[in-house]
Structure 1
Amino acid sequence: MKQRAPLTLAAVTAALAAVTGLAFLTAPAATPAGGAGRADAARRPVERSVLVCPEPSSSDIAETTYTSLTPGKGGGAGTARLATREGKAVLEPREPGKPVSATASGAEAPGLTGAAEGALAPGWTAQQTTKVAVGHTRGLLGLSCTVPGTDFWFPGVSTAKGRQDYIHLTNPDDTVAEVDIKLYGPDGLVKDKPGAVAAVFRVDARSTAKVSLSTLFPDSRLTDVTAHVTTGSGRVGASAQAAEDGVGTDWLPASAGPADTLVLPGIPADATSVRLVAFAPGEDDADLTVRLSGPGGRLTPAGKERLHVKAGMTAGLDLGDVTRGEAGSLLLAPADPGKAVPVVAALRVVRGTAPKQELGFVPASAPVGERATVADNRADDKATALTLTASGADATVRVTASAGTEGGQPAVQEITVKAGTTRAVVPAPAPSGGKGPYALTIETLSGGPVHAARTLTLPHDGIPMFTVQAFTDDRSTVSVPRAVEDPSILLR
């Protein structure tokens, strides 16, 4: 009997952590006596945010740019700092609305951990972008630094010949974290020998561990795999890094948590190969409809309109050049609305043709929500493209391009997206006269929900090197119950 992946208590804990953004608040002042009986909640800015960035690359010729921003216009005191394990500061933003950046070269660029407090905490975002010009790991790797947690899903990793995939684990805390990694393939839980159903790793305080999936289970060579990363104690930031011989390399961020309806935003218009990988972690099989949201609405890929995912197993579907010249987003939904089964999913995307190919990933992501930011964008011609998908009603968003790290003036644009469509903005809004990397912030003004992604393209030697990062709600505020003074408690 195959072993399945249940929706664990750790998953519930992670979901609660996501709601609070792993940020902290002090209690609000007590409500005056005249307000007694009010138990409604208020939204308050978070007062502390934590981020971790994994080690960027093992290549000696890697060039990495770190960029950080807290959106907003300032006001109030605050601090923010991303630093190495030894405590050396790499990025220290000084005020909201102004991005900062730093660069690092070679394989010695470290993983980073950091925290923002006060006025710099709400929506604090950091990004690392790495370019490797040549070699079997050549390509453009982009990753939004992650909020530490306890439960992560990575559909789309692989142990196939020619793939070198790693899970990076970064522990930001002063205590040891114990981490379990399980792999699920087309036949369920991957086991190289009886009883070997998970690998347990110890990640020391304020350090990073790098786990090779091909050596974790060396006798299992599988194209489509889902990795499930959970912690038995502590918390970590987790990201997957994939390299494919002759194709390219990129980061694979964790998928949005298991849900019966998913949006995978930001498939480039010129994608030459798109492969969907999905996993059903519960006890029931999932039957999914597969739709492409494009400029004209929702389309069904010919002959690829359904995907059956067996419980506890990973399934793949080759979609080919599904976008056919127009940027889009993939929509997954239950084939039978009366039988909704949660899944996780991601896309492996290739641009170009051999030998001038490049690899990227598009995981399922949460909506923009009130506000979301991607920190590293470039103002070069068509280097930065924005994809917006209205998966529900018509929507209007405000897009703010910050000043560049070396100057310029912010730019603001309102964009409307019709229900069921995807709108590509190429080039994306950019600061006036800006130099250096800049940040894009999206706010939902009406309608939606809106899913969004940014594609950064930095061609090299005829290779369309690219990376895609999704915008997800920055959780800059949390709900805090209103306090009510009740002197009678002293008599109870």
Structure 2
Amino acid sequence: MNRTTLSLIAGTAALAAITGFAALDTPSASGASPAKAAAELPVERTSLLCPAPSISDIADTSYTSFTPVTQGTGSGGKAELRAATEQSADGTDSSQKGKGTKKGADKAGKPVLTPKAPGTPATGDASGSDAPALVGTADGKFAPGWTVQETTEVAAGTGRGLLGVTCTPADTEFWFPGASTAAERTDYVHLTNPDDSAAVVDIELYGKDGVIKSSFTDGFTVPPHSSKPILLSTLTDQRQPDLTVHVSVRSGRVGAAVQALDDRAGGDWLAASTDPAGSLVLPGIPKDATDVRLVAFAPGDADADLKVRLASPSGPFTPAGHETLHVKGGMTTAIDLGDVTRGEAGSLLLTPTDQSVPLVAALRVVRGKGSDQETAYIPATAPVGRRATSADNSAKGSTLSLTAPTATTQVKITASAGSAGGTPVTKTYTVKAGTTQDIPAPVPAGLKGTYALTLEPLSGGPLYASRTLSATQSGVPAFTIQTLPTDRGLVAVPEADEDLSVLQK
């Protein structure tokens, strides 16, 4: 047999071995097998990275882990969250290999949290400025849709307020529109390397006039099992209020998030925007937002011209004075939308006026006034897909924002059991086309502790969602917003057919 024949046979055999569900059928008389739809199977392993939570000595951080119950997973598996310094790439405890150091929330060498069963949240906590970045691994029944939320309360100082971030998988490229090197801002990009080899990372800054020259041209090396915070103001002497940060990995992979801290207006985590696209949805602007600022960036040389609309409870409308937005290629553009929601729930919709040009975007959202301001961020996000999961919800402080940009959508929302007790509750909601609906999150019966929310669209068009956590701290309306894209619980696996005709070629 020639090399091509061997490769085809090896590829078919490998796919069958990986899925465990490959169908082996005899070829049809015509020599061609009919196309088959890919099966959706639960993922078997998930890894998540949580950045070091705070530089404040008075920070209090909670971690909440949740895995939805998923059919077809079997009975085995486990999940745990450990300090990055103690987690090896194969998911084993590297302190057993002589590589680990113990510090912060994981000083005793024990996991920060270890879930006991899918369907029930597990919690852990940390305090102070030495809490480390964490690496989480889950397999078996704990892997599909595993979600971890990191929430930090800082009572005073730069970036005081409520800071929240959903822990994310490692990747090789991230876009963060909405960062800043202004005098009142202290912004860090946190890079976490979960692997056994070093990662080399480039960080590029784009301002209103394009790329900003940096003296760091050789990239940043992130050692194995470690996290490195990079202060953006050390990369340039330019002080610009609106920047886009591009993180690209030359070798290896990392988790990345931007911690945006303001001297007067609090702060929060800025998660990465969804991949560049011609149309974007930024869901869940709080109805009492006092100031909303849109920051957009178009990678490449092509300019983007966009329609700007707000999806409100009654339908979409165009904000006065901001009917369109022109984004020059390679340059960061920002516009101040003010109190655009005017007391109603809202989501921003960006669509091309003519030619579609990929771009990224985020919103900086402020609640309160004067010295009682607090800030959060809403990046453009992917739709819910088959299912999305939100961890760390409270009985009174959680609000879900649901947006159906193009078609009326029905969605089932399940409130899990509480971390310390309670019975799950399921409700169904309908979101009309072109609208945003804020709903008080369903609460489990007899809730004790925190709980999770699982969103499952039942019919209609794409659904976008975010969750707002709110708490009042010394009169300040502290809050944090997390978007809810797909929880990656299922993966499409193509069916493999045995085709003996390749042996004759």
**TM-score, with structure 1 as normaliser:** 0.90
- Does residue 444 of structure 1 match 2:457? yes
Partner residue of 2:328? 310
Give the secondary structure class of the aligned counterpart of 2:488.
coil
Partner residue of 2:404? 390
What is the alpha-carbon distance in structure 1 between the residues aligned to residue 494 and residue 22 of structure 2? 10
Which AA in structure 2 matches 1:340? S
Partner residue of 1:28? 20
Which AA in structure 1 matches 2:116? R
Partner residue of 1:165? 187
What is the CA distance between 1:448 and its match in structure 2?
Answer: 1.9
2:474 to 452, 455, 461: 461
Asked if structure 2 preserves the Cα contact closer than 8 Å seen for 1:190 and 1:197, the reply is no
Aligned positions of 1:58-457 closer than 5 A: 58-72=55-69, 75-84=74-83, 85-86=85-86, 87=93, 88-191=110-213, 196=215, 198=217, 200-217=219-236, 219-336=237-354, 339-379=355-395, 381=396, 383-425=397-439, 427-457=440-470
Which AA in structure 1 matches 2:182? A
What is the alpha-carbon distance in structure 2 between the residues aligned to residue 304 and residue 197 of structure 1? 37
Which AA in structure 2 matches 1:438? Y
Q: What 5-or-longer segments of structure 2 have no aligned partner?
A: 1-16, 87-92, 94-109
What is the CA distance between 1:327 and its match in structure 2?
Answer: 1.4
Number of aligned residue pairs: 459
Asked if structure 1 preserves the Cα contact closer than 8 Å seen for 2:199 and 2:254, the reply is yes
Which AA in structure 1 matches 2:261? A
Identity %: 57
What is the CA distance between 1:60 and its match in structure 2?
Answer: 0.8
Moved more, 284-293 or 225-234: 284-293
Moved more, 107-116 or 232-241: 107-116
What is the CA distance between 1:82 and its match in structure 2?
Answer: 1.1
What is the alpha-carbon distance in structure 2 between the residues aligned to residue 239 and residue 114 of structure 1? 16
- 1:451-477: CA deviation from partner (whole Å, max 9, x where unpaired): 000000011111000000011011212
What is the CA distance between 1:136 and its match in structure 2?
Answer: 2.1
- 1:93-114: CA deviation from partner (whole Å, max 9, x where unpaired): 1221111001111112111002
What is the CA distance between 1:30 and its match in structure 2?
Answer: 3.9
- Does residue 48 of structure 1 match 2:61? no
Partner residue of 1:14? none
Give the secondary structure class of the aligned counterpart of 1:89.
coil
What is the CA distance between 1:490 and its match in structure 2?
Answer: 6.2
Give the secondary structure class of the aligned counterpart of 1:103.
strand
What is the CA distance between 1:283 and its match in structure 2?
Answer: 1.8
Give the secondary structure class of the aligned counterpart of 1:175.
coil
Give the secondary structure class of the aligned counterpart of 1:119.
helix
**TM-score, with structure 2 as normaliser:** 0.88
- 1:99-155: CA deviation from partner (whole Å, max 9, x where unpaired): 100111111211100211111111111010000011122110000001110010000
- 1:352-409: CA deviation from partner (whole Å, max 9, x where unpaired): 0011110110110000011001111111x3x111100001110000111111111101
What is the alpha-carbon distance in structure 2 between the residues aligned to residue 229 and residue 136 of structure 1? 25
Quickly say closer, same or farther: Cα 1:315–1:322, change in 2 above 3 A: same
What is the alpha-carbon distance in structure 2 between the residues aligned to residue 396 and residue 113 of structure 1? 35
Partner residue of 1:480? 493
Alignment RMSD? 1.6
2:483 to 464, 470, 487: 470
Give the secondary structure class of the aligned counterpart of 2:220.
strand
What is the alpha-carbon distance in structure 1 between the residues aligned to residue 498 and residue 75 of structure 2? 28
Asked if structure 2 preserves the Cα contact closer than 8 Å seen for 1:286 and 1:309, the reply is yes
